[in-house]
Amino acid sequence: MTHIARILKDDRPGAALLIMLLAASAVVPFCNLALAEGNPLHLPTYSMTLWGKYLCYALLAVSVDLIWGYLGILSLGHGAFFALGGYAMGMYLMRQIGGRGVYGNPVLPDFMVFLNWKELPWFWHGFQWFWFAALMVVAVPSALAFVFGRFAFRSRVTGVYLSIITQALTYALLLAFFRNEMGFGGNNGLTDFKDILGFSLQEDATRAGLFALSALALAAGYLACRLITASRLGMACTAIRDQESRLRFVGYRVENIKLWVFTFSAALAGIAGALYVPQVGIINPTEFSPLNSIEIVIMVAVGGRASLYGAVAGAILVNAAKSWLTVAFPDAWLFGLGALFVFVTLFLPYGVVGLIRKKGKRS
Amino acid sequence: MKKTERRTCRLLPPLVLLLLVLFPGNCHAALDDGFAEGIALLASKSFAQKTEGAEKIAGSGDKRTDKVLRAFLDGQLYFTKEGQVLVYGVPGSDGLQVTDALIETPLGIMSADQLNKITINNQLRGQLKTLLARLSLRSADPAVRLAGVREMFADITPETAKVFDDLRQTEKDDRVREALLTALALAGVRSADLAERKKGLVTLAESLDPEVRNELTRLIGEEKDKTLLQEAKRSLGKIEAKLSWYAKLETVFFGLSLGSVLVLAAIGLAITFGVIGVINMAHGELIMIGAYTTYVMQLLLPDALGVALALSVPVAFVVAALVGIAIERSVIRFLYGRPLETLLATFGLSLILQQAVRSIFSPLNRSVATPAWMSGSIAINPVLSLTINRVTIFVFAMLVFAGLFLLLKKSSLGLQVRAVSQNRAMARAMGVRASRVDALTFGLGSGIAGIAGVALSQLTNVGPNLGQSYIVDSFMVVVFGGVGNLWGTLVGGLVLGVANKFLEPWSGAVLAKIVILVFIILFIQKRPQGLFPQRGRAAE
């Protein structure tokens, strides 16, 4: 405990963020559930769910910042881990529908009945239990990251090449999940969820719970990443980012360090996806699209890399801007978003956070 | 019973043909009467009389015969209710566009109830087709004659073979003569005489015509003679082996075609990515700009689509290159040495460009016309034909590659580009203006992307998402081939294209693509520098 306190003492913005998240996890559900509709402090469910979504993206952005900002691995395929976590959760939610589907089949999800399948594919077994799905949310993305990373890091694929093969990875998964034969609902994906652990997803209380859970997960994820970056492992990571070959000559097993941190980051992304799906109510293959993964990287860049809290700020900023621009200027929002990316990379190499930090130093 | 019926059906028209061939165009007046008589018979309600009428018309040798029979077949032949004039009626927006069939003068627009349609049934339709095929045997155009012979393959019998034999004596065109030979051999195979069947089979052994294959399959089912059966089976086996060989050849062609598209899309990227180390995520949008340039050029020159397309090549190059140089000067030049940041900035630019196109041209797909000289196909034999637009694009891709290669190896700009990419500081010390070279190189890469867009506009729809669909593929090609190596891009693109097309039949298009992607991921593990790694100091 004292260890954490000491680390947070050096990371004041981080500590502030954690306090804010903890407060939000209590206050926001309160404002939504306990205060009546007419109350000026009442928070509509819609905005609460929207913010819950932002927090999931923030967790994803933190996981990307861990490997990009501290380890120097630019993953253009982190959306794949996010989506895999989401699919694992989606499969659980699908199984929960049971006989309430359109076709009323107690075991098979609607799309399988539609495709005239007679029995559940083997990889759908076990997802009727929440604990199993929760395990898979972490296990599937980590396993993929582990296998992929083991190959890539051992053969010393670095820099731009690594970025491009991560992009190829998510692109391949995108194409694969679009296929009906894969057994994940084809291009419609998984949707029509009814309830989670017996709580209806339409209920405000369930939504509030999911929001609180997202906030807590982000806090926990942030803390875990901060613990890593503040440890000796974190120092090794930074060293790899700046001088990989030197660290290798000194005797560190660079590929192992990379592999474990990469796998951890993928697991975090999976958790973010699993929290995202019940709030949005759908998961489909477009989550795998390379553009999504690039957008996540952009969030980190906008917030400021190698600071973790910057990633959180970036995710919330970019997504809020996106929500606002798509409504306010539906035709021009891509102009705004594109201009934001160019502007940030040209003028704010350390993101919004860097700007604030610089101002702080000057004064 | 059925068989004999078919025989007589087969017999009747050939007799007419016999007449046609034996007495070509003599005593015009008498035959002209045949034309008039035939037309009179068409007015009858009975299909038997109409058939007779059609045959009379076919036998008349009149110039209008072909047109009348074709209109009859298409259901566009009418009698006017007033005056019983034979007319053609082409459906228009406000009634039928009517033309007098006999004196070939337009009579204006009439409504359907002013006319009596000459109705037709399926049996008559079949007979009309045969009649037309026979007529075409006399055409002056070898291509029409060839089609005529082909049309008759199914109907030829030993009894009618004589006609073809006579035709063969006078035929001058090689391909028509060959088709006639096949026709005779088919007749031989259908003959009751064993020796004839044998002779026919020997000729047919080499033919790739689908009708021959059907005939051999039929023969194998019905033949009683053991040795002939063996022979037929062997022939069929040979033909099938040939067919599968040509099918493979066709796959290679499709693969090369896809590969040439990949090469075109990737080669500009190979320059910006390989030579100056910039990851240009907006590359796909530069391709899109090229495609839209073609669209605009065709809008400007609506009467000369082919010229517009040809002009689009230089125009698209210039437009895309200017956009590229603008991007380089305004954004990328501040980001040299930071490849990952370049990636982000150019991604932002790609969003802006996409939205710009959406705002200017609407988000809908635009179609670019294919000029006449690029449509159609070259038939190499009955089973293998190459579509001309794909051949053109392949040749075009190779020309672009060769041009670019020469430019980089032989021109002074190429020398400077290579110098800067190998050792920037040293090049500058030697007096090369590095920043100018950067801008030009980027402009060159972008211009090539624009040219790729012109080619792509001939294959796919032109829309704001055109670029996105090629960007991942282009990166794969460049990385697979080896960064900074044009040959690598060429070989990589073609290999990936061919591999993709060979995988498709047994795995489906999507799975083939996945397999290729996984292959590239694994390949890069083994050879991180691609197929053709750079050697020496530049490698690190």
CA distances in angstroms from B29 to A304, B154, B287, listed in the order given: 96, 34, 66
pLDDT confidence band for A229 (50 / 70 / 90):
very high
Within-domain flag for A20: no
Q: How many CB pairs under 8 A join A and B?
A: 121
For residue B483, the tally of other CB atoms under 10 A from its CB is 24
Would you state the structure tokens that stand for residue B14, as one six-digit string? 């050939």
Do the Cβ atoms of B510 and A179 come within 8 Å? yes
CA distances in angstroms from B525 to A150, A153, A242, B262, B531, listed in the order given: 10, 9, 22, 22, 12
Separation between Cα atoms, residue B100 and residue B106, nearest integer Å: 6
Can you give the pLDDT at residue B159? 67
List CB contacts (< 8 A) between B331 and chain A. 342, 346
CA B190 distance to own-chain centroid: 35
Separation between Cα atoms, residue A353 and residue A362, nearest integer Å: 14
Q: Which of B279, B342, B520 sits opposite A168 (nearest CB)?
A: B520
List CB contacts (< 8 A) between A334 and chain B. 351-352, 354-355, 358
DSSP 8-state assignment for residue B482: -
Would you state the structure tokens that stand for residue B21, as one six-digit string? 């061939």
CA A20 distance to own-chain centroid: 19
Question: Beta strands of B467-518 (E only): which ranges?
Answer: none
Within-domain flag for A305: yes
DSSP 8-state assignment for residue B54: H
Distance from CA of B407 to the nearest CA of A (A): 27
Would you state the structure tokens that stand for residue B436, as one six-digit string? 């100018």
Can you give the pLDDT at residue B231? 80
Selected for mutation to probe chain B from A76, A181, A331, A342 (highest B CB count within 10 Å) is A342
Contact (CB, 8 A) for B340 and B318: no
Calculate helix-pair angle for B174-190, B161-170, nearest 10 degrees.
160
More confident residue, B111 or A149: A149
Q: What is the mean pLDDT of residues A24-51?
A: 88
Q: What is the longest distance spanned by two Cα atoms in chain B?
A: 97
List CB contacts (< 8 A) between A337 and chain B. 348, 351
Length in residues, chain B: 540
B508: left (phi over 0), alpha (psi -120 to 50) or beta: left
Decide if B511 touches A, using CB distance below 8 A.
yes
Domain boundaries, chain B: 2-134, 144-245, 263-468
Q: Which of A178, A179, A346 sits opposite B334 (nearest CB)?
A: A346
pLDDT confidence band for A327 (50 / 70 / 90):
confident
Contact (CB, 8 A) for B516 and B496: yes
Contact (CB, 8 A) for B517 and A168: yes
Q: How confident is the model over B43-92, as pLDDT tens digits?
A: 787 888 888 888 887 777 777 777 788 788 887 888 888 777 888 888 87
DSSP, residue by residue, A276-334: HHHHH-EE-GGGG-HHHHHHHHHHHHHH-SSSSHHHHHHHHHHHHHHHHHHHH-TTTHH
Helices (H), B174-225: 174-190, 194-204, 210-222
More confident residue, A300 or B278: A300
Q: What is the mean pLDDT of residues A59-65?
A: 96
Can you give the pLDDT at residue B81? 80
Instruction: Say if residue A209's pLDDT is above 50.
Output: yes
Domain containing A258 equals 48-362
Can you give the pLDDT at residue B25? 44
Can you give the pLDDT at residue B146? 77
What number is the ipTM of this complex? 0.80
Decide if B279 touches A, using CB distance below 8 A.
yes
DSSP, residue by residue, A27-47: HHHHHHHTS-TTSTT---HHH
In degrees, rounded to 5, the angle at the alpha carbon of residue B248 between the alpha carbons of residues B455 and B211 is: 105
- In terms of Cα–Cα distance, which of A331, A353, A345, A79 is closest to B347? A345
Helices (H), A11-158: 12-33, 45-69, 78-97, 110-114, 130-154
Separation between Cα atoms, residue B336 and residue B435, nearest integer Å: 10
Separation between Cα atoms, residue B275 and residue B486, nearest integer Å: 10
State in Å, rounded, how far the first CA of chain A is from the last one: 34
In chain A, the number of structural domains is 1
Would you state the structure tokens that stand for residue A145, as one six-digit string? 């990251």
Within-domain flag for A253: yes
- In terms of Cα–Cα distance, which of A161, A174, A149 is closest to A79? A174
**Residue spans of chain B under pLDDT 70:** 1-32, 159-160, 534-540
Within-domain flag for A300: yes
Indicate the pTM of the whole model: 0.76
Can you give the pLDDT at residue A182? 85
Would you state the structure tokens that stand for residue A133, as one six-digit string? 């799905």
For residue A215, the tally of other CB atoms under 10 A from its CB is 26
| Amino acid type, B82 | E
Handedness of CA B307, B308, B311, B317 (dihedral sign): negative
Separation between Cα atoms, residue A142 and residue A88, nearest integer Å: 13
Separation between Cα atoms, residue B23 and residue B20, nearest integer Å: 6
Q: What is the mean pLDDT of residues A65-82?
A: 93
Highest mean pLDDT among A25-39, A159-173, B145-159, B435-449: B435-449
Cα dihedral: B492, B495, B496, B497 (round 10): 120
Q: How confident is the model over B214-248, as pLDDT tens digits?
A: 777 877 777 777 788 888 888 888 888 888 888 88
Decide if B513 touches A, using CB distance below 8 A.
yes
Can you give the pLDDT at residue A50? 93
Length in residues, chain A: 363
Within-domain flag for A41: no
Burial of B43 (0-12, 13-18, 19+ CB in 10 A): middle
Q: What is the mean pLDDT of residues A25-32?
A: 90
Handedness of CA A14, A261, A263, B477 (dihedral sign): positive
CA distances in angstroms from B390 to A125, A309, B255, B261, B534, listed in the order given: 48, 53, 11, 9, 32
Can you give the pLDDT at residue B536? 45
Can you give the pLDDT at residue B539? 41
Can you give the pLDDT at residue B540? 42
Contacts of B41 (CB under 8 A, 6+ apart): B49, B50, B52, B53, B56
Q: Which of B344, B475, B513 sits opposite A175 (nearest CB)?
A: B513
